[in-house]
Amino acid sequence: MVEIKIDEELVKKVAINARLILTDEELKKFTPQLAEVILESFNKLDSINANEEPSFQPIEQKNKLREDIVKESLTQEEALQNVKEDLRENGYIKGPKVM
Amino acid sequence: MSETSVMIGLEIHTYLDTKSKLFCGCSTNIINAQPNSHCCNVCLGHPGSKPVLNAKAVEHAIKVGLALNCKINKDFFFSRKTYFYPDMSANYQITQYEVPVAEKGFVMLGEKKIGITRAHLEIDPAALVHPNGMGTSNYSLIDYNRSGFPLLEIVTDPDMTSPSEARDFLKNLENILSYLQVLMPGSVLKADCNVSINGGKRVEIKNISGFAAAEKALTYEISRQKKEAELGNSVEQQTRAFNAETGKTLPLRKKETEEDYGYIFDPDLVKVSLEDEQIEKIKSEMPELPKQKQQRFVSEYGLADYDAQVLCSEFAIGKLFENLMQKKADPKLSAQLLTRELLSILNHDSLSLNEVEVSIDALFDLILIMQEGKVNDRNVKQAMINYISGDKQVPKTYLEENDLLVDDSIDVDKIIIETLEGNEEAVADYQGGNVKVLNFLAGLIMRETKGAVRIDEVLEKLKEKLSG
Amino acid sequence: MVYEETLNYFVKEAKKDFSLVEKNLESIIGEVKENIKNGLNHIEFFDEEFVLAQLKELKTSEKKGKLYGVPITVKDTACVKGLESKSGSQILKGYVPLFDATVIAKAKEEGAIILAKTTQDEFGFGTFSTNTQKIPLNPFDNARSCGGSSGGCAGFTASTKNYHVSIGESTGGSIAAPSAYCGVVSVTPTYGLVSRNGLIDYANSLDKFGVLGRNVDDAFSLLEVIAGNDEADSTNLGIEYVAEEVPLKKVAIAKDILEKCDEEVKKIFLAKIEQLKKYVKVEEVTLPLNLEYALSAYYIIATSEASTNLAKLCGLRYGVQGDVEGKHFDEYFSEIRNANFSEEAKRRIILGTFARMSGYRDAYYLKALKVRTKLINEFKNAFKEYDAILFPTMPTIAPRFDEIKNMTPMQNYAMDLCTVPANLAGFPHLSINAGFSEGLPVGLMVVANHLQENKLYSLGKVLE
């Protein structure tokens, strides 16, 4: 049995991992909702034994590989087409800083 | 003061030699390319795009696994390692978590076994440029040309116990990989070095380029950790970077608050399932590895163990030797020329063989002259220095034009008599029991004739005359 | 143009007389505009020029394909080159794909005209198409839901009087559910039969493109076109599909799933089954493990995969983008994601991130994958004896919007109890109208074994 407490602290921690900073309101609202799903639905799996092999897709497949052949890339213009004008600089895409 | 026990483990990233990226058909030939000109929907992380695995990369990975004495997993899978960073086109990296392509191998370093934990395939992120430098930049610039490049990560067990051992391991590994011809030309081995002392916390030094830097970084880090211990501080588990200019390591981020990567099996990809025949075929097509080549040089060409080892320690040198053998050059003289002359010049000038132009024919002609006994060692050395670092003139021509070949028309006996007559004191010295005089007199003769007489002949005849 | 015959008939005639194509298209464009004007909200994005350009091209085209001149609505989940494709989300606003999804390319190759993108729950997160800015209204009762997440597809398919078919997408039942609530035919194919290239991911091991139409033949005609081999999708089965009738021996009603449905729904379902008994033996079967565990396993796997798929949506390269200067990336990413994901998207991301986090991963994510195998086997066991398994598509008729507002997320998810089992296992399933209750359609679901679409076709023809 997975002993687990779904509280605001846990929800907050998980949210940050996913780059979601929840407001206090959201945290208050979501926590009981998520707790219900996890404790009532997810935890159901505790009551079933499953020693089967995991199914990563419903139908097992293997060996989908391609030859090492070069295909035409997008042009720089095409690659930047969906980038906002002011986030393009000399062919680069402008992004936030890392330090 | 007790000995410090050191544990070093390495995570090495190598670029595989494929024409297209690991999961899409974009070209890997990005040198001098405009930013974001070698991308597609897949490596840009455009919603709706799907990855497809490159068969050549898998082949290369299996080769490396076999060369590192690993177990090749007949079924292996890809995983998503999810974390957020501006250089990640999907904010997850396609890598291998649970079941990599190869694991549990080893590399011999002399008599010592260095364990290889695993070797696995993964994609490279994009390149980040920081205008005005990383520390002060207000934003970053992203170039996705490199996004999706095929990486093979090789992880060692923490079996190394000194920075020099780590360096030797990296050199050895690089040599094996160049024999396999699986590395992207022009790429550099990068390593994350993990080090702890006296069973303490592990510090990771990230992204070090080349084995010399790795040794420096580890040396600094070990002494830093020792100092901390001496001051009574415990070493924190952390991630650091190495500054090649200052030779110091600096903290990057605490390893405790590491991202939870939340690995899942990548549901866009299916398993690779290998047949025994496939692995056997790759095994049989593998090129000779350094150790095997070394043994063959000894048995086939009668070389000394040491010379064979030196010739095999760098793929390019070994190849040079084999090219000479194809022309039926004398093995021992060829080995001598390459190990004692060529390599020592390269080491002295801190050059690698790739950086100089060496013609097989030029070397072959020189070796012929040596074989015919028509040149002295000292002049060989001089000709080679000129060939590699000087005027670059072909040795044979250099020797001929500078009168450095042995001249058979010279009357050796006459010169010897003249020399002995002109150095009575030395003669008396020798007869008094000082045998070193022999070399002194021979040296005089060699200098005077500019090496145009054979040194063995001179020594022999001097000895004769002095005794007689 | 009033829809009287099948698509195949229309195509045949259209190849002889192009004016039929023009008339049909003109009429349906009118309906699209009305739909937008009247706030029925089935249409997410419509660009008349884009449509007319295709008409022009078709007129002079040599290609006389299987879908010649047929207008197709497409769920916003599918990438259409040159058309904004957001999968119903806010964060992908402005994303204009540089490529057509393979299903779109295939449809165009056969002469189809891409008419419009339809409304849906954001990324497919929902059973009622209410997690979105534009909520599609049920044509039978505008105060009720169309179902979801392919609500717009079903709503428009039910409303239109013209020749038309729709490409929808299903992860946990998003084609079957709305088709049941709107009284139209739908086919959700075997996982991997239809390429996912160009499908904006919800959960990669569960997503499938499928079809909605006014009748069985129309739906399967479209399926024939969009199914087939695609090298660009590593999970594609590489198999072509041709619809043909096959002999049937025995089918079974999933008794325990039926029990979970409303009385009215049960009644109508069973009445329709009577029709079937003339043609094929009808017995009963139970799927206890699926009933008990399918929803849990599904939501764990789906949210785990979704949370990684949605990680790439962070304000870079496409979609909503902000001001990057002076901001650390954690700050920038969080800002964009907080402001542009709906509540439901945030909840599912958190659930999925949790289920695969270290410490929880074994008990949830990995366990769910193993349970999935078990559940697939339970079905397969039943398929050894039966050609197909039948039960109502949804446990209720389409709920009212005020009812939906009061549901907790858990109550929402529980409504998927009929559709999830087949979707989790990747089995092909048909949903067809069984009758009406309180004036709203009741759907009947037929599930067949992997790659047994023709059993669905044959049963569909009988039930129609």
Assess if residue A70 is contained within a domain: no
A·C CB contacts under 8 A? 186
- CB-CB under 8 Å, B50 with C234: yes
**Domain spans of chain B?**
6-281, 288-401, 412-467
- CB-CB under 8 Å, B141 with A76: no
pLDDT digits (tens, 9 = 90+) for C411-458: 999 999 999 999 999 999 999 999 999 999 999 999 999 999 999 999
The closest alpha carbon to B12, from B216, B206, B271, belongs to B206
Q: Is C430 within 8 Å of C381 (Cβ atoms)? A: no
Residues 16-75 of A with CB under 8 A from B: 17, 19, 54, 56-57, 60-75
Nearest Cβ partner of B272 from A63, A76, A90? Answer: A63
Nearest Cβ partner of B47 from C92, C304, C357? Answer: C92
Active-site residue flag, C149? yes
Phi-psi region of A98 (alpha: psi -120 to 50; beta: other; left: phi over 0): alpha
Instruction: Measure A45 CA to nearest chain C CA, in Å.
Output: 7
How far apart CA B67 and CA B292 sit, in angstroms, is 11
Angle between helices B360-371 and B377-389 (to 10 degrees): 170
Are β-strands B140-143 and A88-89 bridged in parallel, bridged antiparallel, or unpaired? unpaired
pLDDT in tens, chain B (468 residues): 567 899 999 999 999 999 999 999 999 999 999 999 999 999 999 999 999 999 999 999 999 999 999 999 999 999 999 999 999 999 999 999 999 999 999 999 989 999 999 999 999 999 999 887 767 789 999 999 999 999 999 999 999 999 999 999 999 999 999 999 999 998 889 999 999 998 888 999 999 998 899 999 999 999 999 999 899 888 888 889 999 899 999 987 654 446 799 999 999 999 999 999 999 999 999 999 998 999 999 999 999 999 999 999 988 899 999 999 999 999 999 999 999 999 999 988 888 887 888 999 999 999 999 999 889 888 999 999 999 988 899 999 999 998 888 888 888 888 888 888 888 888 888 888 888 888 888 888 888 888 888 888 888 888 888 876
**Domain spans of chain C?**
1-464
Q: Find which of A37, A51, A81 to mutate to test the C interface (most C CBs within 10 Å of its CB).
A: A37
Residues 67-106 of C with CB under 8 A from A: 94-96, 98
Residues 54-93 of A with CB under 8 A from C: 54-59, 61, 64, 66, 74, 78, 81-84, 87, 93
Assess if residue A25 is contained within a domain: yes
Nearest Cβ partner of C235 from A37, A43, A61? Answer: A61
- CB-CB under 8 Å, A61 with C333: no
How far apart CA C450 and CA C430 sit, in angstroms, is 13
At position C227, the amino acid (one-letter code) is A
pTM: 0.92
Instruction: Measure C405 CA to nearest chain A CA, in Å.
Output: 14
Instruction: Measure B311 CA to nearest chain A CA, in Å.
Output: 33
- CB-CB under 8 Å, B84 with A66: no
Phi/psi of residue C193, each to 5°?
-75, -40
Are β-strands B53-54 and B248-254 bridged in parallel, bridged antiparallel, or unpaired? unpaired
How many domains is chain A partitioned into structurally?
1
Assess if residue A15 is contained within a domain: yes
Q: Is B374 within 8 Å of B423 (Cβ atoms)? A: no
How far apart CA C98 and CA B116 sit, in angstroms, is 43
Nearest Cβ partner of A92 from B18, B55, B143? Answer: B143
Using the structure block, give the residue that is written with the tokens 């006389």. C64
Instruction: Measure B63 CA to nearest chain C CA, in Å.
Output: 24
Assess if residue A54 is contained within a domain: no
Assess if residue A98 is contained within a domain: no
Out of C27, C85, C145, C174, which one is annotated catalytic? C174
Assess if residue A67 is contained within a domain: no
Are β-strands B127-129 and B112-123 bridged in parallel, bridged antiparallel, or unpaired? unpaired
Reduced to 3 states, what is the DSSP secondary structure of residue B123? strand
Instruction: Measure A87 CA to nearest chain C CA, in Å.
Output: 8
- CB-CB under 8 Å, C233 with B50: yes
Beta-carbon-side half-sphere exposure of residue B425 (alpha carbons within 13 Å): 1
Subunits with 3+ Cβ pairs within 8 Å of B are A, C
Q: Is any Cβ of chain B less than 8 angstroms from the Cβ of A84?
A: no
Active-site residue flag, C249? no
3-state secondary structure B44-99: CCCCCCCCCEEHHHHHHHHHHHHHCCCEECCEECCEEEECCCCCCCCCEEEECCCC
Using the structure block, give the residue that is written with the tokens 């009212």. C400
How far apart CA C204 and CA C237 sit, in angstroms, is 14
Active-site residue flag, C174? yes
**Interacting residues of C461 by C-beta distance below 8 A, sequence separation 6+:** C216, C245
Please report residues of B whose CB lies closer than 8 A to that of C90.
none
Q: Is any Cβ of chain C less than 8 angstroms from the Cβ of B44?
A: yes
- CB-CB under 8 Å, C363 with A45: yes
Domain C1-464 in CATH 3.90.1300.10: yes
B412-467: CATH, from 1.10.10.410, 3.40.50.2300, 3.10.20.600, 1.10.10.10: 1.10.10.410
Q: Which domain holds residue A37?
A: 8-47
Q: Is B150 within 8 Å of B64 (Cβ atoms)? A: no
Nearest Cβ partner of B267 from C198, C204, C316? Answer: C204
**Interacting residues of B266 by C-beta distance below 8 A, sequence separation 6+:** B51, B77, B78, B79, B80, B94
